[in-house]
Amino acid sequence: MASPDGLLRRRGLLAMNSRLAGDVGDRRSSMSRAGRIGRRSRIFCSAANATDTAQPRRRAAMLAIGTANPPNSMSQDEYADWYFRVTNSDHLTNLKHKLKKICKHKTPKISPSKSPKRSKSGIRKRHFYHGDDTFRDHPELAVRGAPSLDARQDILRTAVPELAAAAAARAIDEWGRPASDVTHLVFANLSGVSVPGHDLRLASLLGLRPSVQRTSMYFHGCSAAAAALRVAKDIAENNPGTARVLVACAELSLFMFRAPTPTTQRDSTLVVQALFADGAGAVIVGAGDDTDGERKVFDIMSAVQTVLPDSEGGADGQLYASGLVFQPSFKLPAMLRDRVEQCLAKGIGPLAVAAAGGGGGWNDMFWAVHPGGRAILDGVEEGLSLAPEKLEASRRVLSEYGNMSGAGLIFVLDELRRGGDLPPGGLGVMIGVGPGVSIETMLLRAPAA
């Protein structure tokens, strides 16, 4: 696998991204093209090494993080029995056995001479808003193909903003300023659509001021939080010192719950039911001078969205009267393995040259990758030749919470900063993987010591 330095040099990417270079100085228009490339390489290296001198506080930063889950939790080993019971499908013994194999959890055994052995799903337990009473009160939810969208929407209309509010309240409490100081709200989710949207209900629950500027982002799937953070970065940097943006993402897997049928052997229903879970994450984003004791969690160096080449059909879904039918391709992990480095080269541009300066390539950085499943993480790890411990934060979140769609990345960021082993001023990469297949790439920097 080529190093990021070599990959970028071959593709001529050292001369791209003049906007980032503009953070650290002007360039003379009469400079030759070769001179510009050399000059920019030096500029990017100094920027990535945290020596910004021209405008050191105008770059957006994450200032606080909060997460929340519903109180109901279930071990992965118990899930198959419960799922087939509530859907009245115990007679489908072959499918039940298959789901048990997917869900079976084994504690990884780490050997110093090889990578950890991992269970098929990589999940130990998950949290859910729904439970036995949900299906007792709404039996149509447990019938494959039955019209149940109205029932799902009725549940999600209140449950989604309430879960988002729990995560946001924790982020605001950590931030240390009143909720009324939030100037912008960016809300992203996949779980249910209503008018007015979940964003207005969330603003009311939190006591945000009536003039808060709200932006809603729907159906970005597992890249939702990353996309919302990208939008928040732009808002904060366009209003330095004044804008404080609350990003919130909440997902409830009830929207995608589907009963099995004998034909389930030929689709991804069991995989989806074995992976997805419920959770919410929130982040405060701002740029400019610190006030009232704010502290940075991560600097946001750059943020880019791109489409994985030749990935049509990799992660598709359709909304029906029976709910959202999500059909991820079994080829998606291989797509990521073979093309993720190409997306990174486009996404973080010349700043990757500085990241590779330590000689370890991508392993010189810390990583927050969407915990979409063990196969997703394995594909990214293999595609970038990462050491096993580099995705440990993502694997821990997957193990303890499952795939919480877009909210999962915020849990990984929280896990990374609480781990206490980030190098001061060190660079890292956040990767969101969504429908399309869309890749959200964000270059981060840990706070200086």
pLDDT tens by residue, 387-444: 999 999 999 999 999 999 999 999 999 999 998 789 899 999 999 998 878 889 999 9
Q: Is the pLDDT of residue 352 over 60?
A: no
Residue whose entry in the numeric block shows the structure tokens 């969330």: 202
Name which of 56, 38, 58 is nearest 353 in CA terms: 38
Per-chain mean pLDDT for the chain:
81
Total domains in the fold of the chain: 2
Confidence grade of residue 261 (pLDDT, cut at 50, 70, 90): confident
Instruction: With a cut of 80, say whether residue 213 has pLDDT above it.
Output: yes
Q: For residues 239 and 348, state if they share a domain.
A: no
**Residue 31, pLDDT above cutoff 50:** no
The radius of gyration computed from the CA coordinates of the chain, to the nearest angstrom, equals 22
Instruction: Measure the CA–CA gap between 196 and 245, rounded to whole angstroms.
Output: 20
pLDDT at residue 15 above 80? no
Among 368, 370, 371, 435, CA closest to 402: 371
Question: Of 198, 303, 330, whose CA–CA distance to 251 is shortest?
Answer: 198
Distance CA 401, CA 275 (A): 9
**Model confidence over 64-82: pLDDT tens digits?**
999 999 999 999 999 999 9
- Enter the tokens of residue 374: 């063990």
pLDDT 10s digits, 149-200? 889 989 999 999 999 999 999 999 999 999 999 999 999 998 877 778 899 9
Residue 95 lies in a domain: yes
* In a shared domain, residues 153 and 275: yes
Residue 227 shares a structural domain with residue 371: no
pLDDT of residue 52: 41
Same domain, 322 and 266: no
416 within domain boundaries: yes
For 327-340, how does the pLDDT look when each residue is reduced to its tens digit (9 = 90+)?
A: 777 788 888 898 88
pLDDT at 204 over 80: yes
How far is the CA of 169 from the CAs of 151, 234, 256, 277, in angstroms?
28, 23, 27, 21
B/e letters for 331-370, b = 16+ CB within 10 Å, e = fewer, are: ebbebbbbbbbbbbbbbbbbbbbbbbeeeebbbbbbbbbb
Asked if pLDDT for residue 296 goes beyond 80, the answer is yes
Burial class (CB in 10 A: 0-12, 13-18, 19+), 402: buried
Per the domain annotation, does 293 fall within a domain? no
234, 258, 286: which is the final residue of a domain?
286
Which residues are part of the catalytic machinery?
222
List the single range of 22-26, 236-240, 347-351, 429-433 with lowest mean pLDDT.
22-26
**142 and 42 within one domain:** no
- Residue 233: pLDDT above 60? yes
Higher pLDDT, 362 or 290: 362
Same-domain status, 333 and 425: yes
Please name the helix (run of DSSP H) or strand (run of DSSP E) that holds residue 126, with its range, or none. strand 125-128
- DSSP character for 19? H
Instruction: State residue 335's pLDDT score.
Output: 85
pLDDT of residue 214: 96
What is the domain extent for residue 270? Answer: 63-286
User: Does 35 score more than 50 pLDDT?
Assistant: no
DSSP label of 256: G
Flag whether 72 is in a domain: yes
pLDDT at 144: 86
449 vs 14, higher pLDDT: 449
Asked if 214 contacts 432 with a C-beta cutoff of 8 angstroms, the reply is no
pLDDT of 381 reads 95
Residue 110 pLDDT class (50, 70, 90 cuts): very low
Residue 49 scores a pLDDT above 80 = no
Domain boundary among 286, 316, 343: 286
Q: Report, as an integer, the average pLDDT of 2-24.
A: 38
Per the domain annotation, does 156 fall within a domain?
A: yes
pLDDT beyond 80 at 62: yes
pLDDT of residue 24: 33
Residue 32 has pLDDT above 60, yes or no: no
For the chain, what's the residue count? 449
pLDDT, residue 119, reads 58
Q: What is the CATH number of the domain that holds 333?
A: 3.40.47.10
34 lies in some domain = yes
Specify whether 349 is located in the same domain as 431. yes
Same domain, 167 and 263: yes
Asked if residue 264 is part of any domain, the answer here is yes
416 Cβ neighbours under 8 A, 6+ residues apart: 366, 368, 393, 422, 428
Mean pLDDT to the nearest integer, 125-134: 96
Instruction: Indicate whether 255 and 320 sit together in one domain.
Output: no
Element (H, E) at 368: strand 366-369
pLDDT surpassing 60 at residue 30: no
In contact, 120 and 274? CB cutoff 8 Å: no
Verify that 50 and 70 share a domain, yes or no.
Answer: no
CA distance 366 to 381: 12
Where in 181-234 does DSSP place strands (E)?
Answer: 184-189, 213-218
- Torsion, CA 390, CA 394, CA 395, CA 397, rounded to 10: 150
pLDDT band for position 306 (50/70/90)? confident
Does 292 reside within a domain? no
What secondary structure does DSSP assign to 382-447, as a single string?
Answer: HHTT--GGGGHHHHHHHHHH-B-GGGHHHHHHHHHHHH--PPTT-EEEEEEEETTTEEEEEEEEPP
- Please indicate, yes or no, whether residues 263 and 319 belong to a single structural domain of this protein: no
Closest CA to 74 of 10, 131, 149: 131
What percentage of residues in the chain have a pLDDT greater than 90?
51
Which residue reads 């506080």 in tokens? 57
Report how far residue 158's alpha carbon sits from residue 175's, in angstroms, rounded to the nearest whole number: 26
Run of H or E residues at 377: helix 374-383
Residues 247, 238 contacting (CB under 8 angstroms):
no
pLDDT given for residue 41 in this prediction? 31
Q: How confident is the model at residue 222 (pLDDT cuts 50, 70, 90)?
A: confident
Position 375, amino acid: A
Please tell me whether residues 87 and 15 are part of one structural domain. Answer: no
DSSP bridge partners of 298: 62
Which of residues 258, 286, 314 is at a domain's end?
286
Give the separation between CA 303 and CA 440, rounded to whole angstroms. Answer: 7
